[in-house]
Amino acid sequence: MEERLIPICEQLVEACKRAYARGIQMNSGGNVSARVPGEELMIVKASGSSFADSTVDGFVITDFDGNKVAGEGKPTREALLHGLIYRLCPNVNAVVHTHAPYSIAYSAAKKPLVRVTWHSQLKMNADLPTLDVPAPMVRPEYFYMVEEVLKENPELPGFLLVDHGLVAMGKDPINAEHTAELIEETAMVTILRAAVTKMGL
Ligand SMILES: [Zn+2]
């Protein structure tokens, strides 16, 4: 890994460990990435490792089509989605994708995730679309769904994938991870509020 990219990798490691500690990514799923400054390249997590065991060596460099140009290991299968986001959103420098339980549960509603808390309204500029991608990863045939929502709002903080998880974007890996936590918190609160209303409390 080039020396200048090490601090970015360290932030990616921190984002992974924080996401695991907060329970927004268990097991070995999920992935994170960051844009290589000034180039049409990205740093992505190699597949197969858990967020909990993330290290600076566990990342590879690929182009925006997910083709590896440097590093050990295989790029994550979902690198294509990350590349698409970097192409469409010039201000996005990092992407955090996790299989966060409340976000996945809420995605079954197939409705946008509304910012029900004041904090979510302050921190996110729009409600989050829920994309009904009928596959375990966002392959090119489903890119149009992502393109549609990002062209409408290039500053969109994130979106949900039905029965899959959340995708959060940010100016750096820590910022994107915080947004991932906020999306999960919003989904959790939405579900608990619905339960409270149903109980007539
Ligand atoms: Zn996934």
- Taking only the tens place, the pLDDT of each residue in 122-141 is 999 999 999 999 999 999 99
Query: What residues in the chain have per-residue pLDDT under 50?
Result: none
CA 72–ligand 1 middle distance (angstroms): 21
Assigned token pair, 128: 């989050």
CA 99–ligand 1 middle distance (angstroms): 6
pLDDT of amino acid 21: 96
CA 96–ligand 1 middle distance (angstroms): 10
Q: Which residues pair with 180 in a beta bridge?
A: none
Q: For 89-126, how does the pLDDT look when each residue is reduced to its tens digit (9 = 90+)? A: 999 999 999 999 999 999 999 999 999 999 999 999 99
Assigned token pair, 146: 């992502």
Q: Which residues pair with 165 in a beta bridge?
A: 161
| 3-class secondary structure, 85 | helix
pLDDT of amino acid 77: 79
Cα 10 to Cα 41, 58, 72, 98, 136, distances in angstroms: 18, 11, 17, 18, 28
Assigned token pair, 200: 């007539």
pTM, two decimals, is 0.95
pLDDT of amino acid 76: 81
Task: Read off the DSSP letter of residue 74.
Answer: P
Domain that holds residue 103: 3-199
What's the CATH code of the domain at 131?
3.40.225.10
What span, in angstroms and rounded, lies between the C-alpha atoms of 33 and 79? 8
Domains in the chain, number: 1
Residues 6 or more apart whose CB falls under 8 angstroms from that of 177 comprise: 14, 15, 18, 19, 32, 96, 168, 170
What span, in angstroms and rounded, lies between the C-alpha atoms of 113 and 58? 32
CA 198–ligand 1 middle distance (angstroms): 31
pLDDT of amino acid 176: 98
Q: What is the DSSP string of 109-130?
A: T-S-B---SHHHHHH-SSPBPE
Contact 141, 63 (CB under 8 A): no
CA 36–ligand 1 middle distance (angstroms): 22
